[in-house]
């Protein structure tokens, strides 16, 4: 969704962070999610990949998911 901007801003860093978070959670879709994460990661610069990893860490803190995501998306919206 975020990797292609389907109904949301196109933010590959967010796509990477969310797919990384979901793949780490395990479950029946984790293999596909890991593949999606890896595909997005290939398109990111080292700096963007680091930002995605940090976003994933911050958003995995209990009670911080939406705040972290909203903050990042708002910061990126200001750049366009």
Q: Which pTM value belongs to this model?
A: 0.77
Can you tell me the mean pLDDT for 49-60? 92
Residue 48 maps to a domain: yes
Q: What per-residue confidence (pLDDT) applies to 27?
A: 66
Q: Answer whether residue 64 is part of any domain.
A: yes
Note down the domain range covering 38: 12-77
Mean pLDDT across the chain = 83
Specify the number of domains making up the chain.
1
> d(Cα 48, Cα 7) in Å, to the nearest integer?
22
Per-residue pLDDT tens over the stretch 2-38: 566 567 667 889 989 988 888 877 766 667 888 888 9
Residue 50 has pLDDT above 60, yes or no: yes
Residue 42 located in a structural domain = yes
20 belongs to a structural domain: yes
Under a CB-based contact definition with an 8 Å cutoff, are residues 49 and 12 in contact? Answer: no
Maximum Cα interatomic distance, the chain, rounded to a whole number of Å? 37
């Amino acid at each position: 969704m975020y990797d292609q901007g389907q109904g949301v801003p196109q933010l590959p860093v967010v796509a990477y962070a969310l797919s990384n978070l979901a793949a780490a959670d395990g479950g029946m879709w984790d293999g596909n999610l890991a593949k999606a994460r890896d595909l997005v990661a290939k398109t990111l610069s080292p700096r963007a990949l680091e930002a995605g990893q940090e976003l994933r860490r911050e958003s995995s803190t209990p009670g911080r998911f939406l705040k972290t995501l909203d903050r990042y998306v708002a910061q990126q919206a200001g750049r366009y």
